[in-house]
Structure 1
Amino acid sequence: MNALSPSVDVNATPMVRFEAVGKTFGGTGGHPAFTALTGVDYTVQRGAIAGIIGRSGAGKSTLIRLVNGLEVPSAGKVFVDGVDVAALDAAGLRALRREVGMIFQHFNLLSSRTAFDNVALPLEIAGVGADAIRAKVLPLLDLVGLSDKAGRYPAELSGGQKQRVGIARALATSPKLLLSDEATSALDPETTQSILELLKRINADLGLTVLLITHEMEVVKTVASDVAVIDGGRIVEQGRTFDVFTRPQHETTRSLLSAASGGAKLPEWISADLKPAPQPGDRALVRLVFFGETAFQPLTARLVAEIGPDVNILAGAIDEIAGEPFGSLVVSYPAEPAVLERAARFYAETGLTTEVIGYGV
């Protein structure tokens, strides 16, 4: 169980499973082949909000298009609720797509249709009657906070309102899986936050599994319980969002994290002069990471008591990752052998996670 997805049942059939998936484009008619995905293994548990993050061109859009059959893998298999997507015939694919909603970066609303009619469109295509459509659409507009905008056209709506219409439309066929393709990239930070809160509420209230792709670490940190990092068509790191953010193992993850907000960051005038090894008179600059039990303990005061009063706090931040508290401090103290030994002993005894950033005066 985790803070963002309390309904996740890890023993149930996964909602989405990628097994050794590869995808190659071209290679025929004289066109050179391009490999977009290689050996992708990834599982999205039922009821989870899972994120796939990567830079532009990393392969995440191709990956999500395999889920609803818009692309077919060149190797491996993609399963949705235990069903091999590539093995479905045309009728099977149509049925699958009614169970897999999708929201887009640029909303993809029809400008000639009102908010009500845009949400109603999938139901009209499915042959649902007018009374049943109204009974379905109005509660959905209320769910996304647009009950008073049913008669408005897209040109009369803000970006956030358009995306809410897109979410309501994606929910019209009562899907069990919602795919989000960079759904917040075109929105300002405040609107992005409101959309993410809406996705969390839909996940909790409807038990809907959400798979989102994004290049924004802040989005994953806020809403996703689990995350996979994709680079060059390969999954280079995956796990609980909190674990990946607090203990990144791959250089791509660390690079993406360094560009995200949050975490204690040193001013440039300090970090520019740091050295990898101490010289006489230098101070050690160390990042202390607080999470889990350590997040609520007065460990900084205890550190001062352990190694002496000559401890400076240079930077600090408090954050929340996947619903769990996370904080960091950058401190400095004399890089003297006796002090370093006492500090190392203190860290080992308390379980405090640390990182030596460098040495300076």
Structure 2
Amino acid sequence: MHSDSSSAANAANTVLFEDVSKRFGAEEKSFTALDAVDFAVARGSITGIIGRSGAGKSTLIRLVNGLERPTSGKVIVDGVNVPDLDEAGLRALRRSIGMIFQHFNLLSSRTAFGNVALPLEIAGFDRDAIRTRVEPLLDLVGLSDKRDRYPAELSGGQKQRVGIARALATQPKLLLSDEATSALDPETTQSILELVKRINAELGLTVLLITHEMEVVKAVTSDVAVIDKGIIVERGRTFDVFTRPQHPTTRALLSGLPGSKLPAALASGLRPHKTQGGRVAVRITFFGRTAEQPLISQLIQTLGSDINIIAGTVDEIGGEPYGSLIIAYAADDATCAKADEFFKANGLVAEVLGYVS
């Protein structure tokens, strides 16, 4: 039974972390970078791992390609436990894993074509085979006309596209992205993320994306794990985690997204307790069917009083509609009770932010 369940898990997932811990240094001065991590990367998904600097993200990704070995636990990639591999096994594994980096890591002495060709040359491909493989990749990333340009002649976005093409050269099953958009401007970041989504869809490639940027996670991932001080504190479908964050770290990371941050004037005037004749400020989260209904007008009718709309945004997470609206209404007990009943009846997530005079 255990063997069957393990086989099923391996078939469904490209990467499995099973009770993985990683410590650095001698026992007395050791530092725990990862602590009992259990996490799966579904085959064919774009999965994000997000956390602050120093949370353990880069250590996690280095375990996948064998650049680090866990102190304990299993790191299973495509059915193989990476720590069990010898050097020959690791070389074979790394040919099935593509990697894109924050700072591109291109060779300045090689053209775009030459950089993409490098892993194929190392693998022993002949000239014709390399050309047959590299030219379609340059076309895929939109750089056919830049094949003979050197990195110094390319923009940041173009350099990253070369890096992506190079990562795909060995036809990997898994693509690792370590802060790949952190050095890019927002417009270029968006174009790179669109490219990653297209590669995932067209090639069926599993993508494991490490980032500290919630906007990146929101834009491309289907699943996400939140890591804090080496521990996975929350995980699930990106839409579920973003619309119903359970852990304080997740809420803190989400607070910087548009529509989540309170206007300065409101934030400075919020009080923790209600005052006579004051109003309560509430953030309402809309998703699914509720994002398309006239709920505010219905809420006004239910409460029988005015509502101030303070801030709001409408967006998509994983192709599903999502909205966040900050409103204020009378803070008396009767009005608040009616509002709470309305929110529950309509499947809305409501968070009291504080009270204003």
Moved more, 265-274 or 51-60: 265-274
SS across alignment from 2:182: coil
Match in the other structure for 1:78: 75
CA–CA distance in structure 1, aligned partners of residues 32 and 338 of structure 2? 52
Within-5 A mapping of 1:18-167 = 18-27=17-26, 32-167=29-164
Change (3 A) 1:57 1:11: closer
CA–CA distance in structure 2, aligned partners of residues 272 and 344 of structure 1? 25
Percent identity for Structure 1 against Structure 2: 69
Q: Deviations over 1:272-292 (max 9, x none)?
A: 222222121111111111101
SS across alignment from 1:15: strand
Change (3 A) 1:10 1:305: farther
Q: Which runs of 5+ in 2 are unaligned?
A: 1-7
Return the letter of the residue paired with 2:23: T
TM-score w.r.t. structure 2 length? 0.95
CA–CA distance in structure 2, aligned partners of residues 278 and 345 of structure 1? 20
Contact conserved, 1:265 with 1:315, CA < 8 A, in 2? no
Q: Deviations over 1:186-244 (max 9, x none)?
A: 11110000000000000000000000101111111101111111111111111111111
Q: Deviations over 1:61-84 (max 9, x none)?
A: 010000011111111010001110
CA–CA distance in structure 2, aligned partners of residues 249 and 70 of structure 1? 33
Among residues 179, 196, 199, which one is paired with 1:199 in the alignment?
A: 196
Within-5 A mapping of 1:185-334 = 185-259=182-256, 261-334=257-330
Return the letter of the residue paired with 1:255: A
Contact conserved, 2:255 with 2:261, CA < 8 A, in 1? no
Moved more, 60-69 or 347-356: 347-356
Return the letter of the residue paired with 1:354: A
Q: Which runs of 5+ in 1 are unaligned?
A: 1-8
CA–CA distance in structure 2, aligned partners of residues 117 and 275 of structure 1? 61
CA–CA distance in structure 1, aligned partners of residues 207 and 143 of structure 2? 21
Contact conserved, 1:180 with 1:213, CA < 8 A, in 2? yes
CA–CA distance in structure 2, aligned partners of residues 136 and 267 of structure 1? 51
Q: Which runs of 4+ in 1 moved over 6 A?
A: none
Contact conserved, 1:262 with 1:319, CA < 8 A, in 2? no
Q: What is the Cα-based RMSD across aligned positions, in Å?
A: 1.5
Shift of 1:10: 8.4
Return the letter of the residue paired with 2:270: L
Q: Deviations over 1:254-306 (max 9, x none)?
A: 111112x2225432222222222212111111111110110111101100111
Shift of 1:11: 8.9
CA–CA distance in structure 2, aligned partners of residues 11 and 344 of structure 1? 44
